[in-house]
Structure 1
Amino acid sequence: MVLRAFLDRVNRRHPWSHNDHYGPWIARRVVGIGARDVLDVGCGAGNLVALLRRRAVTVTGLEPDREMARAAAERFADDPAVTIVEAGFAGRDLGRRFDAITLVAVLHHLPLVPTLRELRGCLAPGGRLVVVGCFRETGRVDLLVSLLSVFLNPVMGLVKHPARAAGLPLHMTAPTADPTETLGDIRAAAARELPGARIRRRLFWRYSLVYDAPAGDSLAAPPRAT
């Protein structure tokens, strides 16, 4: 209990975003296919949008939380190549397909199977889906990786945010939800809806999923509202 209390104090004093940690990795996956038109679902305050904008021609961010959407819209108010829409995934342009779609800590807020199917339908031929998500831990491997993350978390906080913080930054105050699907559930759903998707367990209570749509994607379903 003493150790846990100490770790909690360090984490509060030196907060850092597990989601932003994977931002550069996501951006490299997007630029790797030469994507020009990108959709970021659940863009929050726009941290990933900013990384993507350096590498893509246009970026559309969807964000259902009013405060976060407003902050992102103000951030990119002078950039005509960035569009922020105060909406969830169901509020996307249903007639539009994208070269790349990104979701970070968002998929567990949505119904898994139908959302994966609709994400596939939103990709242009040859497009790429990049997900960094949360999952419900189960089994020994999840426990071991989680314990490793617990001890690495304050170390990363001290490295990334050495100055003591007065409070959490805005982008770390977005609404959260506990995931219900295990990594096994996600693998099984992806095997059905996104054939060939690459899924990996990651540190800091995350997994990654990368799916490349075929150049002539006969599997793609027409985009629908979730």
Structure 2
Amino acid sequence: MALLSYLNEFNRRHPWSHNDHYGRWVAGQVVASGARHVLDVGCGTGNLVALLRRRGATVTGLEPDPATAHTVAERFTDDPAVTIVQTGFAGRDPHRRWDAVTLVAVLHHLPLAPTLRELRGCLTPGGRLVVVGCYREAGSADLLASLLAVAANPIMGLVKHPARADAPPLHMTAPTADPQETLAEIRAAAARELPGARIRRRLFWRYTLVYDAPTGGSR
């Protein structure tokens, strides 16, 4: 217990974002698909939006928290290729389709199967869905991955945030929720709603999902 307490304090003093850690990977997946118009669901303070813009994408960001939505809108106020809408996923334009849709640590806040189904409908033919998600730990494989993450987390903290911090940065203050579905349950739901989706367990309590919509015909 003393060791865990020490690690928690150390991690608090050297904060870094597990979600931003996968930002470059997400942006790379989007660019590789050839997407031009991207929907970022739960865009937060806009770190992924900035990565996507640097790669030439036009981005619509959805952010339900009023203060955060105001902050990210101000961040991109001079960029006409970025549109920030203060709303959650349910408040998106229901008639709009995007070349790519991204969600980072957002899906576990939403009902899994219905949301996957709706996300599929948000894509243009050939469009790509990219998810970095959280899952509920269950079983020995999850325990092993968690132990590896616990060991690596302080090392990453020293590398990414060597200076001691008194408080977490703004982009790490969003409300959190414990995931309800296990990785096996997420895989099963994706198999039903997103045939062909590619799911991988990742380090730091995350998984990734990539789904490419059919290029033509009915979905």
- Please report the TM-score for the alignment, with normalisation by the length of structure 1: 0.95
- The letter for the 2-side match of 1:156 is M
**Partner SS state of residue 162, structure 1:** coil
Structure 1: distance between partners of 2:65 and 2:198? 30
**Partner SS state of residue 201, structure 1:** strand
**Which residue of 2 is the match for residue 121 of structure 1?**
121
**Which residue of 1 is the match for residue 36 of structure 2?**
36
Q: Is 1:47 matched up with 2:50?
A: no
State the identity as a percent. Answer: 77
**Which residue of 2 is the match for residue 196 of structure 1?**
196
**Partner SS state of residue 157, structure 1:** helix
Q: 1:146 to 1:78 in 2, by over 3 A?
A: same
Structure 1: distance between partners of 2:122 and 2:45? 23
**Which residue of 2 is the match for residue 171 of structure 1?**
171
CA contact (8 A) 1:29 1:130 kept: yes
**Which residue of 2 is the match for residue 93 of structure 1?**
93
- Please report the TM-score for the alignment, with normalisation by the length of structure 2: 0.98
How far the C-alpha of 1:166 sits from its partner, in A, is: 2.0
**Which residue of 2 is the match for residue 210 of structure 1?**
210
Structure 1: distance between partners of 2:204 and 2:116? 23
How far the C-alpha of 1:68 sits from its partner, in A, is: 1.2
Deviations 1:19-49 (A, max 9, x none): 0000000000000011100000000000100
CA contact (8 A) 1:23 1:51 kept: yes
Count of residue pairs the alignment pairs up: 219
Structure 2: distance between partners of 1:142 and 1:213? 29
**Which residue of 2 is the match for residue 140 of structure 1?**
140
**Partner SS state of residue 59, structure 2:** strand
Q: CA RMSD in A?
A: 0.8
Deviations 1:60-114 (A, max 9, x none): 0001011211111010011010000000001111111000000000000001001
Deviations 1:111-164 (A, max 9, x none): 100100000000000000000000000000000100110111111000000011
Runs of 4+, deviation exceeding 6 Å: none
Structure 2: distance between partners of 1:218 and 1:135? 31
How far the C-alpha of 1:217 sits from its partner, in A, is: 4.7
Q: Relative to structure 2, which stretch is displaced further, 50-59 or 118-127?
A: 50-59
**Partner SS state of residue 19, structure 2:** helix
Structure 1 segments unaligned to the other structure (5+ residues): 220-226
